[in-house]
Amino acid sequence: MAPSEIGFVGLGNMGMAMARRLPAAGYQVVGYDASAEIMREIAGVDGFTPAPGITGLGTDVVMLCLPDSDVVEHVLLAEGLLDSVPAGGMVIDMSSSDPARTRALAARADEVDVTLIDAPVSGGVSGARAGTLTIMVGGPPEAFDLARPMLAAIGKRVLHAGDTGAGHAVKALNNLMSAAHLIVSSEALIAGRRFGLDPAVMLDIINGSSGRSGSTENKWPNYVLTEKFDAGFSIRLMVKDMRLALGIEHATGTPSLVSEAALAAWEAALGELPGDADHTEIARWLDRG
């Protein structure tokens, strides 16, 4: 299977930036999103064709970039997308979904001779635009080999994480770490500023020191200090990922004291901010406390 057309469902902040990489690599995108505004937008994008409906993609390969497993299951099962994929075809769930539910969906897909693999991403909207995403794939090795050239059009590092669900598991755990880094580095940087230090100077020091992370190297300088708060990843989706990761920690009997404290803080922020607020707003929210 070497498709020239790829169906792409879910063209929001992340999906649109990812799908826009495909035409440059020679793939035509047949796109679908529940938003009428997005469907109008893609009608004018080179290399994109708007699908007439969720079951009208007509491609052997369908990529999904949807909010969560609830929506992925709804689209595939209730809305009939899975039954519309030709036998021998492939669904690549690039959303950050629940690994256990992904495994169950893959078994359902197998019944209609469709391979479903997971391929969530890390690197944010800016990384998607630049083509520098890390893509972590869960699925059988032969499915990984088939998907790899298509995924390489979207991301820079395409890695086989393990069996079906492995990509979704490592993605959730990655985001738990990222969320914990952002909250603890925000607390430390706010404390430093209140102590009289310049946050830009602190970041310069820390980014060559052992406290550095993606939060100090990217999120604080680019989205917090600039007061742009527009990384393009919502606080609601971050909390969703943290809950998935906590589920894995609990299911495996892993100590989760700090993870739970981090989740409680993020949930408190989510309770006070709009769900679609950018996740970097957590720093401003903390600064109000």
Stretch that binds ligand NAD, among 122-130, 212-220, 244-252, 265-273 (CB under 6 A): 122-130
Q: Do the bridges between strand 5-9 and strand 133-138 make them parallel or antiparallel, or are there none, so unpaired?
A: unpaired
Interaction of residue 95 with ligand NAD, rule CB under 6 A: yes
Concatenated DSSP letters of 215-267: IIIIIIIIIITTS----S-BHHHHHHHHHHHHHHHHHTT---HHHHHHHHHHH
**Within positions 39 to 58, which residues make up the interface with ligand NAD, using CB under 6 A?**
none
- Please state, in angstroms and rounded to a whole number, the distance separating the CA atoms of residues 77 and 54: 11
Catalytic residue check, 171 = yes
Applying CB under 6 A, the site for ligand NAD has a residue count of: 29
Q: Which member of 59, 84, 96, 102 binds ligand NAD (CB under 6 A)?
A: 96
Q: Which member of 14, 91, 158, 202 binds ligand NAD (CB under 6 A)?
A: 14
Interaction of residue 33 with ligand NAD, rule CB under 6 A: yes
List Cα–Cα distances, 120 to 97, 106, 147, 169, 170, in angstroms.
8, 15, 13, 9, 9
Runs of H (alpha helix) within the chain? 13-19, 36-42, 69-73, 81-84, 99-111, 124-130, 141-152, 166-195, 199-206, 214, 235-251, 257-272, 281-288
Interaction of residue 174 with ligand NAD, rule CB under 6 A: no
Q: Which member of 22, 42, 51, 65 binds ligand NAD (CB under 6 A)?
A: 65
Residue nearest to ligand NAD (CB): 12
**Within positions 205 to 234, which residues make up the interface with ligand NAD, using CB under 6 A?**
232-233
Interaction of residue 121 with ligand NAD, rule CB under 6 A: yes
Q: Which member of 5, 23, 28, 34 binds ligand NAD (CB under 6 A)?
A: 34
Q: How many CA atoms, within 13 angstroms, populate the side-chain half-sphere of residue 161?
A: 24
Question: Applying CB under 6 A, which residues contact ligand NAD?
Answer: 9-15, 32-35, 38, 65-68, 71, 74-75, 95-96, 121-122, 124-125, 232-233, 237, 241
